[in-house]
Each structure stands twice: as structure tokens, then as C-alpha cells.
Amino acid sequence: MQQSNYIERFVNDYLSGEKTTMNLQNLTQKLPKPILFGIFGATGCLIAGAIFGEMWLSLTRRPPQPQTVVLLMDTSSSMWGGKLLEVQAAATGFINRQNLTVNNVAIVEFADNSQVLTNFDADQTELKQAIANLTPSGGTNLAQGLKTVASLLRNSNTPNILLFTDGQPNNPRASESIARQIRDTGINLVTVGTGDANSNYLTALTGNPDLVFFANSGEIDQAFRAAEKAISQLSDTSGDYGLIFSIFRIGAWSGFLGLGIGLALIIGQNYNLRRRLLSSQEVALGSGGGFLAGVIGGAIGQLALIPTINLPTLAIVARMTGWTFLGTLVGGGTSLFVPNLPRGKAFVAGGLGGVLGATCFLLLNAVVGVIPARLVGAGILGFCIGLAIAFSEQLDQAVVLLVRWNNSESTTISLGKEPIELGSSRNAHIYLSKDAGFPVKFAKIYIQEGKILLEFDPSIQKLPKFQNMKVLKQELSDGSNRKFGDVLLEIKQKNILK
């Protein structure tokens, strides 16, 4: 009796699991193909990025380079009052965020003259105490302050100046000339301005409007954080990778994304057609082709990034370039396994998906940080590429083959010059059961000279079931249907063929 209960429970559990699987399959089969492709692309790209991509970046990560920053603080008399307190809080926050075991930070103030408050050997306590002791007085001798900082940074690696000022300098022309000389020596100059500071003049000092951060009252800390991020990008503190290795490193990372997208979209196409999910040939095509597409896209993006590293706005365009190339190449490769998908439109659709994915990545990077942005961005990239490719296929469908698997599930396949194969082969586009007597090669449907043709394979005449078949080629039209086993095929024509 007890054994009978175990058996009954096992059967019920099995049937329950089978029912859940069938419900899931029914749900996904009813999804529009663009959404289905998007889900598969997102899943493949996210898994590849999370497992292989992040592991690769971790294994190839090099120690961070020391970052040298001088806080050049305007302590002229206009800084009296609440403004000074807000600046001191923002500067203290900057110090708290620094890893002083790696980075070197010094503080210089300028008013009528300039003075080094702390050198690069100061610890966090000394730096914060110097900020707390800032006292406003006198004029705005920015030229002298820049000279002092230039001398301090003379032999430094990755030198940076973070200038804070709230007004016009005593000698604008001299300050601008010295700032230009400082930039020519390879020192990065980033400014935070408030009050009466002129943003156009600060742009003249930095040579780049993207390195100027203007703040109103209550926004100075945000401006300091933005300036800090710009310095990190300018200094490339992630490690000394060199040109060749950085291209190889990022190329391989994006290669894993391409591999994930390629395999996922092949699986999505086969799932949509109820075929085996992957063959050995498709594994080779999807992984090899996808990885190569990703490597090329990543390398191009990295090469495009190098000349724009000091121009944050153009650097964004450069990063988008790599993902766009990745999407374009993956899109073109998708046309190899999606029947009658025009390669040109596949390239365009993939590129558009890459642009959308890259845009989302860059927006996320500004909000949640690099690693979460990379992973979520990878998923969005895969979704956008899959969505765009499947959508472009459906836009191009003038004639489709509607495959009804049963009363509630169906699939559409684009018809064109490439034949849609029917048979019991696992490589056939439409699988017909071998147990029902269908041969490996049974028939194909294609368009030739404006005619929709159903052509049976001559070998079927040797089979008893089909030996009386005399006409091996039939012309079909809009609404024509044929039933083979449990599968019902119907022609759907959107417009008149030319």
C-alpha cells in the first residue's frame, strides 16, 4: 500500500512537471518572434558576459596605476560664508573617496599668493585638516596658483589638477597662458566653478568644455564627483595595459558577448521551428562566427576610443562604435541560419540593435557603476539585436509559410529563393516525423521567377506510401494549404509578387 502511494505520488509529480513545461512552451510559442528573439539574445549575451566575460576581465586585470591629483583651491575673499563650508564638505568627500595607498593627493590654495598646504606624503587626516583650515582673504591670483602646482607636479606620473574657483582671476590672460603651457606638458586640468566664475573662461583654461563642471549652491559636491570621474577617465587608472593588450583584452570580452548572442539566436530560431536546439555544425558556426564578430567589434571600438580618451563626449561615440560593429556583424551572421533573411537588412538591424544596447549601457554606467552596467548592458544589447533582426525579417516578409503545429501553436517562415526543407532530418526547417513514414528529404518550398513552388524530392517515389505520386512540382498561391502528418502548411501572401 505504501509502495503504491509512492508510485502514485511520483506519477503525479511527473505529470505536474510535464504540464508546467508544456505550459511554458505554449507561452513562449505564442510570443511574437521579435520578443522571443530578444529574450533569447538577452539571455545568451547575459550568461556569456556574466560567466566568461567577467572571468576573462578578472583574470586579465592589472594593478591600478597611481593617480596624482592636486586640489587647487580658490580661497579669495569672495569665499566667505556658506559657500566655503559647502566647498570644504565637497573637498573632504573627495579625500574620503581616495585610496591613498595607491593615489597621491596634495592641496594648494591661492588668493593674493599661493601656498602648498600639504604635499603628496600627507595622510588622510592631514589632508582633511588642511581643508578644514581654509580661510578666505585677498584676491584671485590664479596664475601664481597654477605655477605652484606645475612645479609640484613636475616629475609626477598621471598628473592632474582639480581646480576650484568662484570668480575671475586677477590676470585672466596670464592664467590662460600658463594653463595652456601646463596642458602641453601632459598635465590634465579639470575645473569646478561656481558663483561669478565664467564657464567660457574655464573652458579656455581646460581646453575642453567636457572638463568644466559648473555648480550652483547645493550642487558643489555633485560637481566634485563629476570632476573626479573625469579625472579617472583621463588618467586611465584601471591599469597599464598598453595598446595591443588592451585591444586584445576588450576584443576577447566582446567576443564572448558575440558568442553568447550567436548561439542564443540560433537556439531561438530552432526553438521557434521546433527543431533540435543545436547541431555540431551550428555550435561551430554560432560560437566561432559570434566570437569573431565580437572580437572585431571590440577591437574597432577600442581603437576608436584611443584618440578620444581626453574628450569624454567623443569617447562615448567611440564606445558606441564598437557595440554597433558587434551588432552589425552578428546581424549579418544571423542571415546564415534564418531562411530568406536579406543579409543587408540583417546587417542594418544588427547595427541598430548595437546602437540601442550601447546607449542603454552608457546610461546605466553613469548611474549604477561599471560592472552592473556591463552585465545589464550586455543583456540589453542581446535583446536589442535579437529584437531588431527578427523585426526586420517580419517587415521584409512578402510571402510567408504559416506552419500550424496544432490548433493553438503556429510559426511563420519567410519564403524566398532559399528553399524551406521538409523531412525527417533534424536539419530540415520543418520536421516531419520519421515514425509517420516521412523520409529524410521529403519536399521543399521556395519562390522562383515569381512563382511559389512546392517540389517533392524524387526519392520519395521509391517509397510504397508515395509511389503513386506522379507530379513532383506544384505551384501554390495565397491561401494554399497542405497537411503532412500533424503539420498543416498554409501560404500567406502580403502583396503581389513581381
Do 154 and 226 fall into the same domain? Answer: yes
Residues sharing a CB contact under 8 Å with residue 196, sequence separation 6 or more, in sequence order: 78, 166, 167, 168
Quick check: is 459 in a domain?
A: yes
Clarify whether residues 382 and 433 are in a common domain. no
Q: Does any domain span residue 18?
A: no
The reply to whether 422 falls in a domain is yes
- 125-134, 215-224, 406-415: which has the minimum mean pLDDT? 406-415
Do 367 and 264 have their domain in common?
Answer: yes
Kindly state the percentage of the chain with pLDDT values over 70.
87
Give residue 390's pLDDT.
Answer: 80
pLDDT(161) > 70: yes
* 365 and 474 housed in the same domain: no
In a domain, 114, yes or no: yes
Last residue of one domain, picked from the residues 235, 255, 278: 235
| Enclosing domain of residue 83 | 68-235
Which residue did the predictor score with more confidence, 44 or 232?
A: 44
Q: 263-284, pLDDT tens digit by residue? A: 998 898 888 888 888 888 888 8
- If asked whether residues 264 and 389 sit together in one domain, one would say yes
Q: Does 180 lie in the same domain as 119?
A: yes
Cβ neighbors of 477 (< 8 A, separation 6 or more) are 452, 491, 493
* CATH code for the domain in which residue 482 is found: 2.60.200.20
Last residue of a domain, one of 376, 396, 416: 396
| 3-class DSSP string for the chain | CHHHHHHHHHHHHHHHHHHHHHHHHHHHHHCCHHHHHHHHHHHHHHHHHHHHHHHHHHHCCCCCCCCEEEEEEECCHHHCCHHHHHHHHHHHHHHHCCCCCCCEEEEEEECCCEEEEECCCCCHHHHHHHHHCCCCCCCCCHHHHHHHHHHHCCCCCCEEEEEEECCCCCCHHHHHHHHHHHHHCCCEEEEEECCCCCHHHHHHHHCCHHHEEECCCCCHHHHHHHHHHHHHHHHCCCCCCCHHHHHHHHHHHHHHHHHHHHHHHHHHHHHHCCCCCCCHHHHHHHHHHHHHHHHHHHHHHHHHHHHHCCCHHHHHHHHHHHHHHHHHHHHHHHCCCCCCCCHHHHHHHHHHHHHHHHHHHHHHHHHHCHHHHHHHHHHHHHHHHHHHHHHHHHHHCCEEEEEECCCCCEEEEECCCCCEEEECCCCCCEECCCCCCCCCCCEEEEEECCEEEEEECHHHHHCHHHCCCCCCEEEECCCCEEEECCEEEEEEECCCCC
Average pLDDT over residues 29-37: 78
Rounded Cα distance between 174 and 177, Å, is 5
Checking if the pLDDT of 124 tops 70, the result is yes
- List, for residues 354-364, the tens digit of each pLDDT value: 888 778 777 77
pLDDT at 315: 65
- Asked which of 336, 362, 396 is the last residue of a domain, the reply is 396
* Per-residue pLDDT, 366: 63
Q: What distance in Å separates the CA atoms of residue 203 and residue 251, rounded to the nearest whole number?
A: 35
| Structural domain count, the chain | 3
Residue 210 has pLDDT above 50, yes or no: yes
pLDDT confidence band for 306 (50 / 70 / 90): low
Single pTM value for the model: 0.62
pLDDT band at residue 7 using 50, 70 and 90 as cut-offs: very low
354 with 439, same domain: the answer is no
**pLDDT given at position 312:** 59
Asked whether residue 5 is domain-assigned, the answer is no
Mean pLDDT of 210-233: 89
Confidence at residue 270, expressed as pLDDT on a 0 to 100 scale:
85
Asked if residue 294 has pLDDT above 80, the reply is yes
pLDDT given at position 64: 67
| Each residue's pLDDT tens digit, 356-386 | 877 877 777 666 666 777 788 788 888 888 8
| Mean pLDDT over each residue of the chain, to the nearest integer | 83
Average pLDDT over every residue of 122-137: 94
Residue 95 has pLDDT above 50, yes or no: yes
- Does 202 lie in the same domain as 126? yes
Q: What is Dmax (Cα atoms) for the chain? A: 108
d(CA 254, CA 354): 12
pLDDT at 275: 81
pLDDT bracket for residue 311 (50, 70, 90): low
Q: What is the pLDDT of residues 408-451, one digit of tens each?
A: 788 888 898 889 999 998 888 899 988 888 999 999 999 999 89
Q: Return left, alpha or beta for 214; rule: phi > 0 is left, psi -120 to 50 is alpha, else beta.
A: beta
Whether 230 and 92 share a structural domain: yes
What is d(CA 276, CA 283) in angstroms, rounded to the nearest whole number? 12
Residues 348 and 371 both lie in one domain: yes
**Residue that is written with C-alpha cell 581646460 in the block:** 206
